[in-house]
Amino acid sequence: AAVVIMACDRADYLERTVASVRAALGVRPGDVDKFPVFISQDGRHKATRAFAEGPKAKDFHWMQHLEDRPPTTRTRFRWDSVAYYRIAAHYKWAMKTLFDDLGYERVIVLEDDMELSPDFFGYFEAAGKVMDADPSVYTVSSWNDNGQKIHVSDERRLYRSDFFPGLGWMLHKALWRELAPKWPDSYWDDWMRLSDVRRGRESIRPEVCRTFNFGEVGSSKGQFFRAYLREIKPASERIDWASQSLAYISNGDAYEDQVRRTLASATIIDSPTQVRLVPPENAATNVYKVIYASERDFNRLAKRFGVFAEWKDGVPRAGYRGVVTFKMYKGRATVMLVP
């Protein structure tokens, strides 16, 4: 898979990301050859280009996206809204360059404000095999929207999600061929979360994030950063993903059956105070479900339990069939918000 770091005018952020990518590539012999890295710069920011072509980005490939004309809209937007039009155009150009012009089969998309876990590339190689074999897999992501320290524990656990997580993700050439003709003019990530774009497919994502987003300053103006992003727990173990069985995540129907069985045996609660601590060896069976009746009801309960209270096109963040799963008390209890 080619790796592309999407950059614009944050040279200091880019330097931190490049150092992290280089460190992750050095964990396993051969990854430098398996994962060629491209820095795709949008615009003419001099410091960003100087770094991307300098010695600290040695062996990475720099490419530059220049718009023929600024994006236009039918209505008047603030500057930060126009920025999202520029971002969507940059993404489309970078994907076209890597897939159509250079012929890569898979692309891992990073942004210039991310640090990677030590097992980042091993994770994507293993999960990528699941994606290749199962057409119900939409993308592979390194991100969990509810990956805060208080909600995660198992660094080996993966999930399927109807919500496209983004923030360090991989897609296949076949998906790009499908998306390219209808790529949106702006807000590409929310567009990928639409049901008529996703078409019932699911993304694979980890319980514990394989990326840490440090970008408080950017086009989103630090949206959600203080409330959620800075509390994300990045993975710290060097897991040998080639030795991990991913059979439980590899078949969509079997995965759904597994979730249904877990729900059937879970204890119904409606408040965090009803969660009971058990010895760590009993944590796997200490499962609770919280029933919600509507999006508004979900948001109320999500805030009560401290998870992301947001939906996109009828899907809650990190949701699978409307079920949002997270941990409590250092992994000694599992809680599932259930429609």
Instruction: Locate 223 and state its tokens.
Output: 């949206």
Closest-CA residue to 128 (of 141, 114, 113, 112): 141
Helix (H, G, I), strand (E, B) or coil at 333: strand
- Amino acid at site 94: A
Instruction: Locate 189 and state its tokens.
Output: 């990530």
Q: Are 170 and 107 in contact (CB under 8 A)?
A: yes
Q: Are 251 and 134 in contact (CB under 8 A)?
A: yes
The C-alpha atoms of residue 131 and residue 263 are separated, in whole angstroms, by 26
Q: Which secondary-structure segment (H or E) carries 2?
A: strand 2-7
Burial 88-121 (b: 16+ CB within 10 A, else e): bbbbbbbbebbbeeeebebbbbbbbbbbbbbbbb
Q: Are 269 and 287 in contact (CB under 8 A)?
A: no
To the query of whether residue 189 is one of the catalytic residues in this protein, the response is: yes
The C-alpha atoms of residue 131 and residue 268 are separated, in whole angstroms, by 34
The C-alpha atoms of residue 334 and residue 326 are separated, in whole angstroms, by 6
Calculate ∠ Cα 313-132-252, nearest 5°.
Answer: 55
Closest-CA residue to 223 (of 193, 190, 192, 194): 190
The C-alpha atoms of residue 101 and residue 83 are separated, in whole angstroms, by 26
- DSSP secondary structure code for residue 323 in this structure: B
Closest-CA residue to 244 (of 202, 206, 285, 282): 206
Pick the catalytic residue from 9, 31, 185, 189.
189
Instruction: Locate 147 and state its tokens.
Output: 């990956």
Q: What are the residue numbers of the active site?
A: 189
